[in-house]
Amino acid sequence: MTNTLTNENSQLRNQLKLLLEQAHRNQQIMQRYQEFDLKFIGSNTFQELIDSVFDTLTEASELDVVTLSLIDPDAEIRRILTDLRIDVSDYPNLIFVEQDVDEITHPTRKPSIGPYSTMLHRRLFPDTVLKPNSVAVLPLIRRNMLIGWLSLGSLDPTRFTANMASDFLQHRASIVAICVENVINNERLQHIGLTDPLTGVNNRRYVERRLLEEVGRTQRHGYSLSSMYIDLDFFKKVNDNYGHQGGDEVLREVAARIKAELRLSDALGRFGGEEFVVLLIDAPLDAAVAVAERIRTSICNTPIALTTGKDLRTTVSIGVSTLKAISRKEETAAAAQQFLAKADQALYLAKQGGRNKVVSAE
């Protein structure tokens, strides 16, 4: 009898120990998820958000791969991110869905939990990421609209099974959906505030702010920074002969041709009227002049087709200046103003020299 009671007590103690250990593990898991929620909700920028998804969530949930797919058929989100200097190619786990949602083969509005299927999940786990053995595909829905999917993958084939309860995962997807929508809307508002509504390129406010940042970096690191001041030649005649609609079409096309010659790291902004300013990052004078010549050639060699059916030839004059290493003691704002003023002076010389020219401040 005594031995029986001793064995029962030992079994109870072992069971209690296991229960306490499980409770402790569950507490740690909940704590990790709470920390993740706080970090995710606190994301103010898209950069912070995707870092939280791919790093914090992966670690908190002990997953092997996480992808975030966003429905973006008109590439609006990608354009905003590009203008905000976020290179989406740096994030292979961030996927943009361009085609209609109806064409997607996997379930759209219900969680898909179970073994990985190439036919169902290949678009959510492309060749650039690790292929899991079991997955949980969670739809991101806001205001009854599908905005994307959060896809969780594990190499363990038993991690996600078809009979697994999805309530907790749906709760996680709801939080992610709210944060994704909030951050994208914030980035959209920032983008609108720094964008010229006519041409779609950055506005003067953005360029002036970026100019101070880049001059400050030049002071700290000593790389070359070049600028271009671009002005359309005889633009008043364009408005007089083709009306303001024709003038607007010319400005939009010229802005597009300038942007086509620039790198993602460069900055283009409409400074006012028919003037544009370009900042070429880590570009010496000879490289900047070469880019300016390409811009000038692309504009003057190909007529601009107006909606009226007429073809209009136009030219630009460009002034170029380069800022080399400057003393850290020099005031950044003053150095930036002088730097841009040199490009403006070079532009004046290009105008005086007959227009349709590139003139260097050097």
Tell me which residues are annotated as active site: 274
**What does the DSSP 8-state code read for residue 125?**
S
In this structure, are residues 92 and 145 in contact, taking their beta carbons and an 8 Å threshold?
Answer: no
Q: Residue 121: what residue type?
A: H
Question: For residues 121, 127, 131 and 135, what is the CA-based torsion angle, rounded to 10 degrees?
Answer: -30
Both tokens of residue 348? 């004046």
- What is the distance, to the nearest Å, from the Cα of residue 190 to the centroid of all Cα atoms in its chain? 12
Contacts of 183-190 with CB under 8 Å at 24 or more apart are: 183/43, 183/44, 183/45, 183/46, 183/48, 183/49, 184/46, 184/77, 184/80, 186/44, 186/45, 187/45, 187/46, 187/80, 187/81, 187/84, 188/80, 190/84
3-state secondary structure of 15: helix
CA 274 – CA 203 distance, rounded (Å): 12
Residues 6+ away with beta carbon under 8 Å from 348: 319
> How do beta strands 145-154 and 202-203 pair?
unpaired
Spell out a b/e string for 268-296, using b for 16 or more CB atoms within 10 Å of the CB, else e.
bbbbeebbbbbbbbbbebeebbebbebbb
Question: Tokens 């003393």 identify what position?
Answer: 327
